[in-house]
Amino acid sequence: MVTVERDRELHQRAWNAAASVVDPEIPVLTIADLGVLRDVVLDGDHVEVAITPTYSGCPAMNMIALEIEIALERAGFHRPKVRTVLSPAWTTDWMSEEGRQKLRACGIAPPQASNSRRALFGEQTVACPQCGSDKTELLSEFGSTSCKALWRCKACREPFDYFKCH
Amino acid sequence: MSCANIQVSETPLVLYALRRADDALILGHRLSEWCGHAPMLEEDMALSNIALDLIGQARELYTFAAKVEGRDNDEDKLAYLRDVRQYRNLLLVEQPNGDFAQTLVRQFFYSAFADLYWRAMMNSRDATLAAIAAKSEKESAYHLRHASEWIIRLGDGTEESHARTQGAIDHLWAFTGEMFAVDDGERALIHAGIAVDPASLRGRWLATLSDVTREATLAPPQNEWMQQGGRSGRHSEHLGHLLSELQSMQRTFPGLTW
C-alpha cells in the first residue's frame, strides 16, 4: 500500500511539473491548458512524458520538450524522456475551459467549436476579445504563429489574434 | 561540395515516403523564399506559415523513411545530403516562384491534390503514415482555402492579374500529370492498402480546379501533354540551384549543429 501511495504521489508530482510548462509563444497557456500534454508515465523513478504537436511545423515543440525536461529535473526526476505522439491528431477541442478564458483575458479570441473549415470564404463570426462585439472581419487566415489568424474588430477598431479552430 | 552524398536503400516503402517528404520540403523551401518579400505583411506571414507546415510534414515523413530504411540515415541527412538525382519530388513544386500569381497557382494545384491525398492516406494500413496524414490533412485544408481565395481574387481582379494568373495556369499545367502517375513499387503498396492510389483522386481534383477557375473567370487549361521525371530523379534545372542554397551549411561544414 505504501508503494502505491508513493507512486501516486510521484506521478502527481511529475504531472504537475510537466503541466506547469507554458507555451513559449502564448505564455498565458500551459501545455496542459492547450492539450499538448498527453501522458505522463512513471516507471520506478523514471518519467516519460508524451506530447503532441499542434501543427506539424510548430517551432515551439523543441523548446517545449526542453522545458519539460528542465521542469522534471527540478522536481527531482533524473533523465526524464519526452516523446512526441502524432495520433490522435491534436484538436482545439482539447483546450480546457480555463485555457479559453485565459486566452480571452490576454486579448486572443479562443477557438470556436469545429466549423466547416473547408468552406470557401467561410462565413464564421468571431467575437472581439476586447469589446465583445461580433462585428469583426478576417484580415489574414495566418497570424503571428501557426495556430492563430489575424482579425479586426469593426466596433472598437482593434486588431486581434484568433486561435484557429483545428 | 566537400561532403559526400549519402546512399539510401530505396525499398518501395522508403521511396514512397521520400517522394511525399521531398514534395513537402521543396515546396516549403520555395515558399520560404517569399519571407520578407511578399506583397503585404499578412501574405508574408501566410506563406511563411504554410512553409512551416510543409517542412513539419517533411520532417515527419523523413523520420519515418529513415526508420523504415533502418540504417544510419535520419531526417537531416535525408534532407541535406542527397543530390538532385536522389530527390524524388514533383517537378511542379521545384518550379521557381515567378510572380505572385505563379506562386499561388503552383500552391493551388498542389494543395488541391495534397488535401485529397492526405485525407485518403488517413486510411493507410500503416499506422505512422495514417497519423502523419491525419495531422497534415488539417493543415492542407487551410492551404487549399488560402490558395483558392487568391486564385479567385487574382483571376477576377484586374486585367493584369487575370492575365498573369491565366499565364501561370497554362505554364504550370504540364507539371500536374505527374501527381497521378505511379510505378510498380508504388502500385504494390497501393494493393497492400498502405499507399494511396492517386488516380482515384483525379476526378475530385479536376472538380475543385473547375469550381475555382470558373469563379475566378479563368479558362481551364487545354494542353494535354504532360512533363514527367521528378519521381525518378530527373529534374528541371531549377532544383540544383534550390538545393545548393538549402544544403550549403551542411555541405560546407559537415555535421554542423546549431
Q: Is B208 on the interface with A (CB under 8 A)?
A: no
Q: Is B53 on the interface with A (CB under 8 A)?
A: yes
- Distance from the Cα of B142 to chain A's closest Cα (Å) equals 7
Q: So what's the pLDDT on residue B51? A: 96
Give the pLDDT band (50/70/90) at residue A166.
confident
Give the pLDDT band (50/70/90) at residue A147.
confident
A139 chain-B contacts, CB cut-off 8 A = 42
Contact B19, B232 (CB under 8 A): no
Q: Which of A89, A122, A140 sits opposite B134 (nearest CB)?
A: A89
Query: Distance between CA B210 and CA B187 in Å, rounded?
Result: 28
Q: In terms of DSSP bridges, do strands A108-109 and A159-163 run parallel, antiparallel, or are they unpaired?
A: parallel
Q: Evaluate if residue A1 carries a pLDDT over 70.
A: no
The SS3 call for residue B89 is coil
Alpha helices by DSSP H, chain B: 12-32, 41-69, 75-80, 91-94, 100-121, 127-155, 159-172, 184-191, 202-215, 238-246, 248-252
* High-pLDDT (> 90) share of chain A, %: 55
Dig out the grid coordinates for B229 from the structure: 521525371
Query: Distance between CA A81 and CA A65 in Å, rounded?
Result: 9
DSSP run (H or E) holding A159: strand A159-163
Whether the bond between A159 and the residue before it is cis, its omega within 30 degrees of 0, is: no
Cβ-proximal residues to B88 (8 Å cutoff; 6+ apart), any chain = B15, B18, B19, B22, B230, B231, B232, B233
DSSP run (H or E) holding A81: strand A81-84
Q: Evaluate if residue A67 carries a pLDDT over 90.
A: yes
Written as tens digits, the pLDDT of chain B (258 aa) is 457 899 999 999 999 999 999 999 999 999 999 999 998 888 999 999 999 999 999 999 999 999 999 999 999 999 999 999 999 999 999 999 999 999 999 999 999 999 999 999 999 999 999 999 999 999 999 999 999 999 999 999 999 999 999 999 999 999 999 999 999 999 999 999 999 999 999 999 999 999 999 999 999 888 889 999 999 999 999 999 999 999 999 999 988 887
Q: Is B44 on the interface with A (CB under 8 A)?
A: no
B 87-146 residues inside an 8 A Cβ radius of A: 127-128, 130-132, 134-136, 138-139, 141-142, 144-146
DSSP run (H or E) holding A77: none
Q: So what's the pLDDT on residue A45? A: 83
Amino acid in the structure at residue B149: E
Q: So what's the pLDDT on residue A57? A: 82
Report the Cα–Cα distance between both ends of chain A, in Å, rounded: 43
Dig out the grid coordinates for B40 from the structure: 503585404
CB–CB of B146 and A143 under 8 A?
no
Query: Distance between CA A166 and CA A164 in Å, rounded?
Result: 6
Contact B167, B174 (CB under 8 A): no
Query: Distance between CA B252 and CA B115 in Å, rounded?
Result: 37
β-bridge partners, B146: none
Report the Cα–Cα distance between both ends of chain B, in Å, rounded: 20
Q: So what's the pLDDT on residue A123? A: 62
Q: So what's the pLDDT on residue B111? A: 98
Cell 519521381, located at residue: B231
Q: So what's the pLDDT on residue B12? A: 97
Mutate to test the interface with A, among B42, B64, B124 (most CBs of A within 10 A): B42
Q: Evaluate if residue A47 carries a pLDDT over 70.
A: yes
Q: Evaluate if residue A87 carries a pLDDT over 90.
A: no
B207 chain-A contacts, CB cut-off 8 A = none
B 24-43 residues inside an 8 A Cβ radius of A: 28, 42-43
Contact A115, B141 (CB under 8 A): no
Q: So what's the pLDDT on residue A35? A: 92
Q: What is the pTM of this model?
A: 0.90
Exposed, middle or buried by CB within 10 Å (0-12, 13-18, 19+), for B177? middle
CB–CB of B53 and A166 under 8 A?
no
Is the pLDDT higher at A120 or at B123?
Answer: B123
The residue among B156, B206, B147 whose CA lies nearest residue B177 is B206
Q: So what's the pLDDT on residue B1? A: 44
Residue B256 CA, chain-centre distance (Å), reads 27
ipTM exceeds 0.90, yes or no: no
CB–CB of A150 and B128 under 8 A?
no
